[in-house]
């Protein structure tokens, strides 16, 4: 089953053609960073205008590189939310027009589902339900119990900034470019993660919520002190990153302690590309003898392939679920694909 995935929820104009939710036949990512970086963050109006300018070519590119025509697709999967409304609207309107013009079915995909199912792209591994997903991006940070393709429950989430947002804001304090996550990750490689002990958010036992804005604020106050002004920036970056990773792994550990029946865990979202978080996540999984799934870095940050992957799983689940069956007075004679 070959699906076109379209993702425009934020500032990436991304398209991809994916076979069976796994094999990426093409992946086109048109990054808008150059348009937003001078503002130090994403400007929603600029993002939607850029999507409008870039999306048609990105769709054509994805089809051409995959060697398929629109009519040969088995479906189009598009991010329906959550995200910036103007940005989402461009993707949804375009996908509807393409589906209408070609007669190909359209699937509305939740952006967060997309991040989670990115972990099963380009691998023979299949999701084993239920699994636990640690989803960390620029807009979200949450622990999710994934009981099936369609049954996802948020167990805990950030009470303030998302982890990626904390990376971006702290990078700005350190004079690093936007997006800050990759910049901090790179700088931290030369730093000592134990140089400064920024306080970790530690709620009552059993609580799975998280908080990251305190860590960022602590870095800000520290940089204003005499010691902060003299501090090695790589040490500050590494210590900040270590604090974020500690909070995330602590909440993962708490979730697992509450229900130690999970046999696999997924790390997803843009921050899943972080090298320190990946190492800590793998080490945690090895200690608990659970399988760790982490998407390749290209599929951690927003992309079209993850939307096609989630669309595929959703479609398979709906086909298999008798509750999705509806009477169709115009049922075609041949419905086999
Ligand atoms: O998933 P994503 O592309 O967009 C959202 O859905 O939000 O995530 C973007 C976030 C940004 O905050 C970016 O700084 C962060 O992911 N990020 C990273 C790394 N690569 C991207 N954060 C830490 N380390 C990285 N290597
Ligand atoms: Zn995202």
Per-residue DSSP letters for 83-145? S-HHHHHHHHHHHHHHHHHHT--EEEEEHHHHHHHGGGTTSS----SSEEEEEE-SS-EEEEE
Closest ligand to 269 CA?
A: 1
Q: Is pLDDT above 90 for 334?
A: no
Looking at residue 321, its pLDDT comes to: 66
Q: Is the C-beta atom of 137 inside 6 A of ligand 1?
A: yes
Q: Is pLDDT above 90 for 323?
A: no
Q: Is the C-beta atom of 182 inside 6 A of ligand 1?
A: yes
Q: Residue range 102-124: average pLDDT?
A: 96
Q: Residue range 121-144: average pLDDT?
A: 97
The answer to whether residues 295 and 306 touch, using CB atoms and an 8 Å cutoff, is yes
CA-closest residue to ligand 1 atom 16: 270
pLDDT > 70: percent of the chain? 96
- Gap between the Cα atoms of 192 and 278, Å rounded: 18
Confidence grade of residue 206 (pLDDT, cut at 50, 70, 90)? confident
Closest ligand to 181 CA?
A: 1
Q: What is the whole-number distance in angstroms between the Cα of residue 9 and the centre of ligand 2? A: 8
Q: What is the pLDDT of residues 301-322, one digit of tens each?
A: 999 999 999 999 999 887 776 6
Q: What is the whole-number distance in angstroms between the Cα of residue 320 and the centre of ligand 1? A: 34
Shortest-distance atom of ligand 1 to CA 300: 1
Closest ligand to 136 CA?
A: 1
Looking at residue 65, its pLDDT comes to: 98
Q: Is the C-beta atom of 10 inside 6 A of ligand 1?
A: yes
Q: Is the C-beta atom of 32 inside 6 A of ligand 1?
A: no
Q: Is pLDDT above 80 for 328?
A: no
The answer to whether residues 165 and 179 touch, using CB atoms and an 8 Å cutoff, is no
- Count other C-beta atoms under 10 Å from residue 32's C-beta: 21
Q: What is the pLDDT of residues 31-85, one digit of tens each?
A: 788 888 888 778 999 999 999 999 999 999 999 999 999 999 999 999 999 999 9
Rg (CA), the chain: 21
Q: What is the whole-number distance in angstroms between the Cα of residue 13 and the centre of ligand 2? A: 12
Q: Residue range 153-168: average pLDDT?
A: 97
Please indicate, yes or no, whether the overall pTM of this predicted structure exceeds 0.85.
yes
Shortest-distance atom of ligand 1 to CA 179: 14
The answer to whether residues 144 and 170 touch, using CB atoms and an 8 Å cutoff, is no
* Ligand 1 binding pocket mutation candidate from 12, 179, 268 (most atoms within 8 A of CB): 179
Looking at residue 337, its pLDDT comes to: 37
* Ligand 1 binding pocket mutation candidate from 29, 81, 110, 138 (most atoms within 8 A of CB): 138
Looking at residue 41, its pLDDT comes to: 79
Looking at residue 336, its pLDDT comes to: 42
Q: Is pLDDT above 60 for 335?
A: no
Confidence grade of residue 138 (pLDDT, cut at 50, 70, 90)? very high
Looking at residue 332, its pLDDT comes to: 61
Mean pLDDT estimate for the chain:
94
């Amino acid at each position: 089953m070959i699906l076109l995935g379209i993702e425009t929820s934020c500032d990436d104009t991304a398209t991809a053609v994916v076979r069976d939710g796994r094999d990426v036949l093409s992946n086109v990512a048109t990054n808008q960073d150059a348009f937003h970086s001078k503002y130090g963050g994403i400007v929603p109006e600029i993002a939607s205008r850029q999507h409008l300018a870039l999306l048609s070519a990105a769709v054509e590119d994805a089809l051409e590189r995959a060697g398929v025509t629109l009519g040969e697709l088995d479906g189009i999967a598009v991010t329906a939310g959550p995200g910036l409304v103007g940005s989402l609207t461009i993707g949804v309107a375009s996908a509807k027009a393409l589906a209408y013009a070609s007669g190909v079915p359209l699937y509305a995909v939740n952006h967060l589902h997309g991040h989670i199912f990115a972990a099963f792209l380009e691998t023979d591994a299949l999701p084993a339900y239920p699994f636990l997903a640690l989803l960390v991006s620029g807009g979200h940070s949450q622990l999710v119990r994934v009981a099936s393709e369609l049954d996802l429950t948020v167990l805990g989430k950030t009470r303030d900034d998302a982890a990626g947002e904390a990376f971006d804001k702290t990078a700005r304090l350190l004079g690093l470019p936007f997006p800050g996550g990759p910049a901090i990750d790179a700088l931290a490689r030369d730093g000592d993660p134990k140089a400064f002990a920024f306080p970790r958010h530690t709620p009552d036992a059993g609580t799975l919520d998280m908080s990251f804005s305190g860590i960022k604020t602590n870095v800000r106050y520290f940089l204003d002190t005499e010691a902060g002004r003299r501090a090695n920036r790589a040490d500050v970056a590494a210590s900040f990153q270590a604090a974020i990773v500690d909070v995330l792994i602590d909440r993962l550990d708490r979730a697992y302690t509450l229900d130690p029946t999970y046999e696999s865990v997924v790390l997803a979202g843009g921050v899943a590309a972080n090298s320190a978080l990946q190492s800590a996540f793998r080490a945690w999984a090895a200690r608990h003898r659970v399988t760790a799934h982490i998407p390749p870095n290209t599929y951690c940050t927003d992309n079209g392939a993850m939307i096609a992957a989630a669309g595929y799983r959703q479609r398979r689940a709906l086909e298999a679920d008798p509750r999705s069956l509806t009477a169709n007075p115009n049922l075609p004679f041949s419905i086999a694909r």
